[in-house]
Structure 1
């Protein structure tokens, strides 16, 4: 017999955010199953920012590169954004987009990151990694690592200060960024100044109290989470799942760069994020944890004008400013 965690009803949503949920559900259902993936990919591609959106009325310059893939794999596309007419060396954020490992590209939901480019005068390198289920683990992670390593090796060419390079990502991209820090530590570089993980997807076991509470509720529910993990891992289960695929499984969180991690109180990933932060501190790490009351998954990207969204983004900006100070 399976014993489910004892949980109460879902925590309440922030009222301002809750008012937006019906409209959000029309575009992004709370429950995603495999048959929906092609249509959702098409919809996200159609909503992708244009070149003019990236330029921000001339405030940002951008270029697109294709770098060698890992071990003979296809080339990896990078989108590189920098403040207009600036000279280096500038700090840099290596960004891994969200999308449950099944959706998105390197232009996915870049609004907040373009704000960082302007406000912090930094270089943004956004990687387009291969998606599951066509390309299961470790394809996406190895693409991201190839992009990160290339960025560090070409720091001078890019006008980047290699001592002020950090990784960041939301949702699945947050899980990838966490995995990158493990790879960097275990493969001996490149060194990182920090990791900023927004509502990261960390634990394939999908069995926390919050995952059960939020089944069928909000955004990216327990079934959606199973869809993403099953696509990424294929037949891998239990002891066959490496920590580089699901960072919550790592036994050693020591020796990692400083961590900013946040999550909504009313979302599937609340439990695994809180546990990850607690284990990070237990290992002696430097971590800052925020739990946004009433926030559903990805609330600040989906409802950026809400007061709670502005608070979350201000907290991330403040942490970045501190970590990237010369």
Structure 2
């Protein structure tokens, strides 16, 4: 069957043609168009805070706290990394979702306004996320944080950064992450190219296209050599050793370009002895949960349930 025949009817809006090519020339207009759909910082429900990144530059964090929580409670924390292909986006793109999630879980959420490629290629975005992770642990007393219940979470490129951050944190040994929650993560720099390990005729036909994916990976790569020993920090799918990583929730649509890389990553985690919860949603393209429907409702419930279980068991 062809991809459009497998598409859940709730996601028919993804069939609209005419997507422009992603290039350095078109990126400013794409950013402007997409960012115009987000809340402004002044409208957002998150509180902007500032810290210093590894290179001394200012790094903005957005803090979400449940309203009316008791002062003597030690809160679980979710470090959230937004999507956008590494080249666009900001915490405000998920503002209502994060504010509602903080209330539903009675948790603190810290969203990272990491710097974007190509202006800031690897490893700057990842190091920004690592700085934010360190900030979370440094604020244990100030924010009444339960350091045993720190979760990293993201969507798409943000989920790819979350997976890379878990590897980086394990390798550096400074901070302990209880769980990683990866929603259709962008993990493999080869996807969408002839070098991809698997070619799937129904994945990536609808939604996020191969050309845009390869452009974004090239932007993140900059001058980074793919034979660098940090390859897994750049592209987590290429990390050889996945042992001792935090327990993992991973969800992806069956029509997503990232289907193959995500399922393969989940299986490799399992073989490395990491506890894995994997969901593949039928008829769903990339970013399917931006549209209402039964599959979206189920995926939202699955993420919420996983987070609650993680908080309860950590």
Aligned 1:46-61 pairs, distance under 5 A: 46-50=36-40, 54-55=44-45
**In the alignment, which residue of structure 2 is the partner of 1:321?**
308
**In the alignment, which residue of structure 1 is the partner of 2:3?**
10
TM-score, normalised relative to structure 1: 0.87
Structure 1 runs not aligned, ≥5 long? 1-7, 56-61
**In the alignment, which residue of structure 1 is the partner of 2:54?**
70
**In the alignment, which residue of structure 1 is the partner of 2:161?**
176
Aligned 1:276-291 pairs, distance under 5 A: 276-291=265-280
The CA distance in 1 between the partners of 2:99 and 2:225, in whole Å, is 38
Structure 2 runs not aligned, ≥5 long? none
**Secondary structure at the residue paired with 1:203?**
coil
TM superposition shift of 1:33: 3.2
**In the alignment, which residue of structure 2 is the partner of 1:243?**
232
Residues 1:209 and 1:14: Cα distance change in structure 2 (over 3 Å): farther
**In the alignment, which residue of structure 2 is the partner of 1:264?**
253
The CA distance in 2 between the partners of 1:313 and 1:75, in whole Å, is 33
TM-score, normalised relative to structure 2: 0.91
With 230-239 and 100-109 compared, the bigger mean Cα shift is at 230-239
TM superposition shift of 1:52: 7.8
Is the 2:64–2:98 Cα contact (8 Å) retained in structure 1?
no
Supply the RMSD in Å over aligned alpha carbons.
2.1
**Secondary structure at the residue paired with 1:191?**
coil
2:113 to 112, 120, 128: 128
TM superposition shift of 1:22: 4.8
**Secondary structure at the residue paired with 2:280?**
strand
Paired positions, count: 305
Aligned 1:160-309 pairs, distance under 5 A: 160-206=145-191, 207-209=196-198, 213-214=202-203, 217-236=205-224, 238-240=226-228, 242-300=231-289, 302-303=290-291, 305-309=292-296
